[in-house]
Structure 1
């Protein structure tokens, strides 16, 4: 979720998840901006008026009364909170798939990371990080994915190109250390309450797993902004990503389930079988698909 962007001292990467009042004021996102649009983000212009109204009512600006110092976060080598559910529940939509994977192992394509489910270990590093052979808008660790995700991304980017759509890798792997610096910078500048709406706490980021990445459009427009949903890369990915094992992890109007506002650019690999099954059944989130509780906020 690109709800965890790079600090100013890290490799430059496009900014993300703007806070509503900053968008209204016309302020540009900084290198610390998070990848998810914040509360009050407007839907794409094609969305109905009723959806816009619902978004406005559900997305009140967060309080800025949080502390100006960083909260306690799980440090490397310590034990994170217990993570419930290691397999899909018997009644979940995913339970019928022939191939089952762990929901808690960071090396599993079915891993579910959200505000209730931290990584274990918190400082997990994928053993097979590689740089995929695709168009890159970043360098360094952000240009890496785990090998399975990288191979699927290469196939997907090639298929998009065949349809006349150019995608770029806008943000891939993000280490625990990078996330510590990013999150703490947010807390120092905005307070913890607001930081938690714009950046994942260290050890709670999908980007750290190597299973997720953000896409950009070849034209460069609307990177990490609400209008990206209408760019060719986002439109194509929404319609076709499941064919290559990807889902849009943080879909529109499901922030009360996922904990993050719409990120049309954030794709997550779960495997072709599961992604196609979710698409066929019209299920929008991993939480619902695997029969897990909603995670709108940290426990």
Structure 2
């Protein structure tokens, strides 16, 4: 009777051993089996969380701290003595107008020359009438306009000294022979003005003071006033039809 009891005990021991062996193989192979779970092109490596993988595929955002995205408006000014150290004369300019103030920052001047050259190739003459203006000169202009039209009216089109984009060296007033190189709103309806509106962003510029956005920019519509912000930012601003204030979240 004792011999007959040993056989079931032996079988049980073998069964337990086999179970332990298979369990060991399962835990060793499980990570490699689960790592390949996925469907077609949507498969994500199991070692990287899905949310992290998605973030890695997004293009880098525009650096809004760029020196070319500095905000200058009625509430954001520049120091009285501020003057860029890399000012350079542009090639395409109206020589009889404010010749000493027909400079832009080096990168901006190069971009403007490219813009004007491209316009010229398509039969449009676009030239700089006024670029960088120092604090002292802006003060003279502002006081002149206040004396002529009164403070409130003047401030719809002229900045107080220290609060003009022209002092940054990043903006340009431009015009064309079709309006005798004057700065008038009708410029926006000319062939040159329309070309500028549709193509300025390709060279890093935006139309700074848009029609219908006066309550945000604080200034009247100026189709002649372009501002350099860099190509990536200019493209986004142009496509979204927004102002620099809106783009920078400063509304």
Assess same fold via TM > 0.5. yes
After superposition, the C-alpha distances for 1:138-170 in whole angstroms (9 at most, x for unaligned) are 243321111011000011111111111111111
For residue 219 of structure 1, the aligned residue among 178, 183, 203 is 178
> How far 1:213 sits from its partner (Å)?
0.4
Q: 1:101 to 1:289 in 2, by over 3 A?
A: closer
State the alpha-carbon separation in 1 of the partners of residues 229 and 108 from structure 2. Answer: 9
Q: 1:256 to 1:204 in 2, by over 3 A?
A: same
SS at match of 2:127: strand
Query: 1:190, CA displacement in angstroms?
Result: 4.0
SS at the partner of 1:237?
helix
Contact 1:145 1:173 in 2 (8 A): yes
Structure 1 position 233, deviation (Å): 1.7
Measure, in 2, the Cα distance between the counterparts of 1:260 and 1:155.
28
Contact 1:173–1:209, Cα closer than 8 Å, also in 2: yes
The answer (yes or no) to whether the contact 2:90–2:109 under 8 Å persists in 1 is yes
1:272-287 maps to which residues of 2 (within 5 A)?
272-280=231-239, 282-287=240-245
Aligned to 1:229: 188
Normalized per residue, which structure has more helix?
2
Q: Distance in 2 between matches of 1:242 and 1:223?
A: 23
Report what 2:156 is aligned to: 197
CA distance in 2, matches of 1:196, 1:239: 28
- Asked if 1:291 is matched to 2:249, the reply is yes
In 1, the alpha carbon distance for the partners of 2:152 and 2:115 equals 37
Equivalent residues, number = 192
- For residues 222 and 215 of structure 1, what CA distance do their matches in structure 2 show? 8
Distance 1:101 1:259 in 2: 22
| TM-score relative to the length of structure 1 | 0.60
Q: 1:144 aligned to 103, 116, 128, which one?
A: 103
Q: Is 1:209 matched up with 2:168?
A: yes
Partner of 2:70: 111
CA distance in 1, matches of 2:211, 2:152: 22
Q: How does 1:156-167 map to 2 (within 5 A)?
A: 156-167=115-126
Query: Deviating runs (4+, > 6 A) in structure 1?
Result: none
CA distance in 1, matches of 2:149, 2:235: 40
Gaps of 5+ in 1: 1-95, 294-299
Tell me how far apart the structure 1 counterparts of residues 160 and 93 of structure 2 sit (CA, whole Å).
29
Larger radius of gyration: 2
Distance 2:227 2:60 in 1: 19
1:124 to 72, 76, 82: 82
- In the alignment, structure 2 segments of 5+ residues that lack a partner are 1-58
Q: What secondary structure is seen at the aligned counterpart in 2 of 1:136?
A: coil
Q: Which residue of 1 aligns with 2:21?
A: none
Equivalent residue, structure 2, for 1:62? none
Q: SS where residue 180 of structure 1 aligns? A: helix
> Alignment partner for residue 102 of structure 1, among 59, 65, 84?
65
The RMSD of aligned alpha carbons is 1.9
